[in-house]
Amino acid sequence: MTQPSSERGQGAADVDLPTQYQPANVEGRLYERWVSAGYFAADAARDPSSPSYSIVIPPPNVTGSLHMGHALDHSIQDTLVRRRRMQGYETAWVPGMDHAGIATQNVVERELAKEGKSRHDLGREAFVERVWQWKAESGGRILGQMKRLGDSVDWSREAFTMDDDRARAVRTIFKRLFDDGLIYRAERIINWCPRCLTALSDIEVEHADREGELVSIRYSDDIVVATTRAETMLGDTAVAVHPEDDRYRHLVGTEVELPLTGRRIRVVADEHVDPEFGTGCVKVTPAHDPNDFEIGRRHALPSITIMDERGVITAHGPFEGLDRFEARPAVVAALREEGRIVKEVRPYEHAVGHCQRCATVVEPRVSLQWFVKVEPLAKAAGDAVRDGRVEIHPPEMAARYFGWVDNMHDWCISRQLWWGHRIPVWYGPDGETFCAGPDEEPPAGWTQDTDVLDTWFSSALWPFSTLGWPDDTPDLRRFYPTSVLVTGYDILFFWVARMMMFGLYAMDGVEPFKTIALHGMVRDQHGKKMSKSFGNVVDPLDWIERYGADATRFTLLRGANPGGDVPVAEEWAQGSRNFCNKLWNATRFALMNGAHVRGPMPAPAELSTVDRWILSRLQTVVAEVDDQLEHYEFAKACETLYHFAWDEVCDWYVELSKVQFDDERAEATRRVLGEVLDTLLRLLHPVTPFVTEELWTSLTGAETLVKAAWPAADNDLLDKEATEVVESLQRLVTEIRRFRSDQGLKPGQKVAAALDFGGSPLAGHEEGIRSLARLTAPGEGFAATASLPVEGVTVQLDTAGAIDVAAERKRLDKDLAAARKEVDQARKKLGNEAFMAKAPEAVVAKNRERLAQAEADIKRLEAQLAALPAG
């Protein structure tokens, strides 16, 4: 529906834009058109002279759905990719999913349980086939949700960490690492889930503070140890003290009897022990504690496993067969009966690791596993950042990266699962070992290792396996190394470091990405972590449904400072929706009044001061936004665009342009307004792609904004003189509006006023000033009741009859009395010598601020009272 011609300016035109912006009517339609037209597709052979830009998406789990962390991560990547595409780069944004070994196996096992079956009822081959079937039917919902968000990924490149190409890459790098002695099998302490029955990587373990019980146990007259896991004492093989601790020096090398067991264990000296903590003695259980395992290796201690893979006690004796949590109080009771408890059990809060997938308490456990020897790989990963080949942004995050890669332990890569890349090692009848590459077959009759690889092993190959490695492909040559990796700082070590290690190793020292751009976690408006238990989780799909994808993206990016956490709130999403509506209404108004981008721009000399001002401001904004996005300052870029669009374009320029549509300036103004909106929509497109596409194509008649050129600032259009004049006009109008508000006048209420410009350059803008300030020309009987001298202009207003003078005077008198009381109190405190001598400087400063503010309020209120008409 278009506005009636009587309500539109001369030169107005009919427009196809609806009166209101409805995201649901736009987003799906536009996305389908973009994909069908191939706008997002990358071609390694296309225009080799153009620069390349590539990003591989952090592959979401095949079991996952879009959450706020994904929405933030994807919005950042899409903003980067869309901008580079507009800048003429050949852009490849590669989508895909991770097979998520434990999570996916758990999902399918739960489905089987509903049928009264387990995976063992099916057998390995049939179970794996069942998982593939689940993946085809139910997995990958998140890919469709990415489309809802507007991800401009190249869908023709979609990859999966378990597809044939990725499987070949996994076999290839495993074989190379194995042959180079960088993969080995050994008994080591690992994280073990007694429910999932598999080893876990560190990222699959979530630590949370839990209240346990600290038990102090007397091993001998001289030795008392404290523990929160009393059941593990059944596996102690030593007591450790610090070598410099004079209290226990005489005991080092002796033996003590381990309570409840009758075994004799050694007292050893080890620098790991903190002599200031507790009694300075620690129990050493090498098979069930990572620190104790290292102490055991240093002192050649035996390692005794006292529980099985399900956490059930296997140590011979009265506790055999008890679950670990049943054994704990039973062991304490037995120790108490023997008089071994030194002090009563007391509460003790400490961090406890839980399986990320099933929330079971993780058990450190010695197990025969496969490991990557990380020392040379980690050193290369550290050097790549130190020598500047890879930039971490923000730079302060580099210290955290070095803290991890410089102290990395060998990586346990085997998992006791059926879903995943099976370890390509076969065992012969006499214990022989054969590692098969992707094109090799093991000897007949040999048995393959039953374990699969850690999910992170295959995802560590993502930047190059998705581009065709191990083959030398055109994609690999054009798009590797990738341009930037965008991810949360929480997986800087767990995934980023692994990609660095494998990328440098597989690609002959060439880094997998040039820049690591880290963002924070999405939190609620109070900075609290989102959690179902807190009831503060926000579903981005709900926001997309109610406010639109653009509003959701803009809300997230407006809070995305490099490396910092991102707070969000629903009212902010509502504000972003209002911003999209503001753009819609402004563009629709412009089109109805004939704004266009046809033909060349008029020369500056042919433009009004207001037109030259907005074009000058536009060049500044283009330069600022370009620099901000180049340095990953998404929050600053959004703020710049928001305030320029809303405050300067909509609230000032559009309003001022209205008075120019009916005179000789009309055609030039229509062209300038079209130019401003054209550039503004281009700048906003990477952040809010849908609404800008719909508006820009309506404005320009062009096919798509996706491929439109990115704006470049034109310094020749910077105009200091025009800017100073319009800024003076803004200050004048703002002061008049403030006076109106102080007098209780409604925003739309007209007031008669006489304007004396003297020699002010604002004389040529009287019509615009009157329009913006809601001032009418003086009529018969005009009598000024107030006078405002602002910006060299004297504004005389007749407010008689416009306000209730008596009520307004009463209100101002009340406020004035309160301000005077505030001044008296502040002066009294600041004049009190005792207060000034004892009060902190911050308190004194606050009182001085209160005094200054109250004095300013008195001056303002007295002026307002003086401006009231008599009566």
pLDDT tens figures, 466-514: 999 999 999 999 999 999 999 988 877 778 999 999 999 999 999 999 9
Domain assignment present for 159: no
DSSP 734-799: HHHHHHHHHTT--TT--EEEEEE-TT-GGGGGHHHHHHHHTEEPP-TT----EEEEETTEEEEEE-
The verdict on 646 and 742 lying in the same domain is: no
Give Cα separations from 545 to 71, 145, 541, 578 (angstroms). 14, 11, 6, 15
Domain assignment present for 248: yes
Q: How many H-runs (helices) and E-runs (strands) does the chain carry?
A: 28, 29
C-alpha span between 617 and 650 (Å, rounded): 13
What is the reported pLDDT for 531?
Answer: 74
Domain assignment present for 651: yes
The verdict on 698 and 800 lying in the same domain is: no
Domain assignment present for 35: no
- C-beta separation of 710 from 681 below 8 A: no
The verdict on 596 and 714 lying in the same domain is: yes
Domain assignment present for 670: yes
Q: Which helix (H) or strand (E) holds 241?
A: strand 238-241
Neighbours of 388 (CB within 10 A): 7
Among 344, 364, 384, the domain-final residue is: 364
Domain assignment present for 542: no
The verdict on 762 and 826 lying in the same domain is: yes
The verdict on 217 and 324 lying in the same domain is: yes
The verdict on 703 and 777 lying in the same domain is: no
The verdict on 772 and 702 lying in the same domain is: no
What is the reported pLDDT for 2?
Answer: 33
DSSP letter at 99?
-
Closest CA to 424 of 171, 618, 239: 171
Among 691, 718, 745, the domain-final residue is: 718
The verdict on 710 and 658 lying in the same domain is: yes
The verdict on 737 and 649 lying in the same domain is: no
The annotation status of 283 as a binding-site residue, yes or no, is no
The verdict on 221 and 334 lying in the same domain is: yes
Among 364, 386, 409, the domain-final residue is: 364
Q: Which helix (H) or strand (E) holds 689?
A: helix 689-700
Encode pLDDT of 837-869 as tens digits: 888 888 888 899 999 999 988 987 887 787 676
CATH number of the domain at 252, please.
3.90.740.10
Tokens of 743: 């007098």
Question: For residues 100-111, b (16+ Cβ closer than 10 Å) or e, as one string?
Answer: bbbbbbbbbbee
Residue type, 740: R
The verdict on 711 and 731 lying in the same domain is: no
- C-beta separation of 139 from 56 below 8 A: no
Domain count, the chain: 3
User: What is the sign of the dihedral through the CA atoms of 529, 532, 536 and 540?
Assistant: positive
Domain assignment present for 628: yes
Cβ-proximal residues to 445 (8 Å cutoff; 6+ apart), any chain: 429
What is the reported pLDDT for 495?
Answer: 86
Beta strands in 390-491 (DSSP E): 391-393, 411-412, 414-415, 425-427, 433-435, 447-448, 452-453, 482-488
> Which residues are 532's β-sheet partners?
none
Where the chain has pLDDT below 70, the residues are 1-15, 203, 344-347, 533, 801, 803-804, 867, 869-871
The verdict on 220 and 254 lying in the same domain is: yes
Residue-number span of the structural domain to which 739 is assigned: 727-867
User: What is residue 434's three-state secondary structure?
Assistant: strand
Domain assignment present for 602: yes
Q: What does the H/E/C string look like for 541-608?
A: HHHHHHHCHHHHHHHHHHCCCCCCCEEECHHHHHHHHHHHHHHHHHHHHHHHCCCCCCCCCCCHHHCC
